[in-house]
Amino acid sequence: MGRLRLGVNIDHVATIRNARGGDHPDPVRAAEIVARVGGDGITAHLREDRRHIRDEDLRRIQEATDLPLNLEMAATEEMLAIALAHKPHAACIVPEKREERTTEGGLDAAGLHNQLAPICARLADAGIRVSLFIEASEKQLEAAMRLGAPVVEFHTGEYAHAWIDGDREKVARELKRVTDMAALAVKNGIEPHAGHGLTYENVQPIAAIPQIAELNIGHYLIGEAVFVGLENAVLRMRELMDAAR
Ligand X SMILES: CC(=O)[C@@H](O)[C@H](O)COP(=O)(O)O
Please say if 113 is a catalytic residue.
no
Q: Could you tell me which residues come within 8 angstroms of residue 217 by beta carbon, excluding any fewer than 6 positions away?
A: 6, 7, 8, 9, 195, 198, 203, 237
Shortest spacing between CB 197 and ligand X, in angstroms? 8
Shortest spacing between CB 15 and ligand X, in angstroms? 8
Q: Which is nearer to ligand LD2JLWAY, 90 or 116 (CB)?
A: 90
Q: Which is nearer to ligand LD2JLWAY, 18 or 118 (CB)?
A: 18
Q: Tell which one of 31, 130, 143, 198 touches ligand LD2JLWAY (CB under 6 A).
A: 198
Q: Which is nearer to ligand X, 74 or 141 (CB)?
A: 74
Please say if 196 is a catalytic residue.
yes
Please say if 45 is a catalytic residue.
yes
- Which is catalytic among the residues 135, 155, 191, 196? 196
Tell me the CA distances in angstroms from 216 to 152, 166, 199, one per residue in order. 12, 23, 11
Give me the 145-174 binding string for ligand X, x by CB under 6 A, dash otherwise: ------------------------------
Of residues 138-197, those binding ligand LD2JLWAY (CB under 6 A): 153, 195-197
Pairing of strands 191-195, 129-134: unpaired
Q: Could you tell me which residues come within 8 angstroms of residue 223 by beta carbon, excluding any fewer than 6 positions away?
A: 12
Binder of residue 46, out of ligand LD2JLWAY, ligand X, none (CB less than 5 to 8 A by kind): none
Tell me the CA distances in angstroms from 13 to 17, 27, 179, 219, 220, one per residue in order. 6, 5, 31, 9, 11
| Piece of the chain touching ligand LD2JLWAY by CB under 6 A; list 13-21, 25-33, 75-83, 214-222 | 214-222
Decide if residue 94 touches ligand X (CB under 6 A). Answer: yes
Binder of residue 131, out of ligand X, ligand LD2JLWAY, none (CB less than 5 to 8 A by kind): none
Decide if residue 17 touches ligand X (CB under 6 A). Answer: no
Which residues of this protein are in contact with ligand X, per CB under 6 A? 9, 11, 45, 47, 72, 94, 102-103, 133, 196, 218-219
Active-site residues, by number, are 45, 72, 196
